[in-house]
Structure 1
Amino acid sequence: MSQKLELISFKMCPFVQRAVIVLKKKNIDFDITYIDISNPPEWFKEISPLGQVPIMKVGDEVLFESTVIQEYVDEITPPSLHPEDALVKAKSRAWMSFGSDILFAMHPMVTTPDETVSNEKKAIVLQKLSKLEAVHSGGTYFNGEDFGMIDAAYAPMFMRMNFIKMHTGVDLLEATPKMAKWSEALLAQDFVQESVVPELPMMYKGMLKNMNGFFATKLKD
């Protein structure tokens, strides 16, 4: 590539991780700059239209929204990680959006101090996982044996579910064997493990503890 790519985000962001996975899977050279999202620098405020992460600098241009960034990276570096069939591709994109909904439900599930609210959010997460279980191919990855864009989109979610299991003993995939198998396959990939900072597992535990939510009461020593 002639233009330099630079991602800007914070270390725990699951949405930038999607783009990093695609970049690493395709062996694309890029830089990543981490900021303090609670106190972002002025230069970031000036270039981020929504004041949110992730953003990607492509030369002098700026892209925002994680899905847009992920799609851009895929489009400029053929072959595409999307399925060739137009209908299968469209369905995959729809289920990618569905994955974002699960991530949005997971955060209050682990951070709210209210046990009832936490359990309600957990029920939503489990219900959505059950729906995914019903449409998963049953193969190594979502659409079969080839790693695709949808797999990159779900890997951050499964990584965080694995952190939850590691630190609290709560197994969100216990009732969905296809999801458990899919998670295992994704997390076994080096380009997935290398898409985050090495300290992320302990950072996630620290987040659970510092938020002092219901899941903080489940933390192991």
Structure 2
Amino acid sequence: MTKNLTLISFDLCPYVQRAAIVLAEKNVPFERVDVDLENKPEWFLNISPRGKVPLLKVGDDVLFESAAIVEYLDETNPPALHPANPVTRARHRAWMEFGSAVLGDIWTLEVTADQATFNASRVALKEKLSRVESELGDGPYFAGKDFSIVDAVFAPAFRYFEVIDRLADLEVFDGLPKVQKWREALAARPSVKNAVVADYNDRLLRFLQKKNSILGRLPLAA
């Protein structure tokens, strides 16, 4: 890979984090440019078909959708993070989609002001994480000792709870020791730590409070 790479980003976006983690795991240099999604610049709208991040500029080409971006990076930059076996690789891609569904539940928990919706999303999230628990082995990562793209997908989802846990114990990790161990291993990995700005947690908290959601109205734990 010799083309210059630019990751078009938003500071809180978990899908951007996926790409940043994969780039870091492969030691690929790149420039990161943040955009304000509440005031999207014209140049961004001109190159983003859905008006969303992430985008990856590869020379004069632009890739969109995080799954396509991380697949491209894995195909063009060693070491491979996807498994070599075709069936196992396909299963990993399916778990990437499952990770996006997990993010959907977390997003609802973050922004809803309706208690019934909040409760339903919490139950749905716990059910999904319970299914993940049954899939995990001895760890420390999804596929054992080897870090994979599935790890890059779930790490940003787990990161949300660094803030959420300070607001409320949703009990979604209770009784799930393998998921909790996985969460801790991902949080300690340098590529995951460095995928966000240093004050990410403070920015996320301000975002929640601005939404005036159920979570955002809760006081921080002492």
Same fold, judged at TM 0.5 (above): yes
The aligned counterpart of 1:176 is: 176
The aligned counterpart of 1:36 is: 36
Query: What is the distance in 2 between the residues matched to 1:18 and 1:39?
Result: 23
SS at match of 2:98: helix
Listed one character per residue, the Cα deviations across residues 128-171 of structure 1 (whole Å, up to 9, x for unaligned) are 11111111123211111111111111110011123211343444
Q: 1:164·1:171 contact (CA, 8 Å) conserved in 2? A: no
Query: What is the distance in 2 between the residues matched to 1:219 and 1:103?
Result: 23
What amino acid does structure 1 have at the position aligned with 2:66?
A: S
Which stretches of structure 1, 4 residues or more, deviate above 2 A after TM superposition? Answer: 166-172, 216-219
SS at match of 1:214: coil
The aligned counterpart of 1:146 is: 146
The aligned counterpart of 1:165 is: 165
1:105-144 equivalences under 5 Å are: 105-144=105-144
Query: What is the distance in 1 between the residues matched to 2:159 and 2:183?
Result: 8
The aligned counterpart of 1:27 is: 27
Q: 1:81·1:148 contact (CA, 8 Å) conserved in 2? A: yes
Listed one character per residue, the Cα deviations across residues 71-109 of structure 1 (whole Å, up to 9, x for unaligned) are 111111122111122111111110110000110111111
Listed one character per residue, the Cα deviations across residues 27-74 of structure 1 (whole Å, up to 9, x for unaligned) are 110011000001110000111111111111000000000000011111
Query: What is the distance in 1 between the residues matched to 2:78 and 2:95?
Result: 22
1:184: Cα distance to partner? 0.2
What amino acid does structure 1 have at the position aligned with 2:31?
A: D
Q: 1:74·1:80 contact (CA, 8 Å) conserved in 2? A: yes
Q: TM-score, normalised by structure 2?
A: 0.95
What amino acid does structure 1 have at the position aligned with 2:90?
A: A
The aligned counterpart of 1:56 is: 56
Q: 2:10·2:35 contact (CA, 8 Å) conserved in 1? A: yes
Question: How many equivalent pairs are there?
Answer: 221
Q: TM-score, normalised by structure 1?
A: 0.96
1:212: Cα distance to partner? 1.0
Q: 1:4·1:59 contact (CA, 8 Å) conserved in 2? A: yes
Identical residues among aligned pairs (%): 41
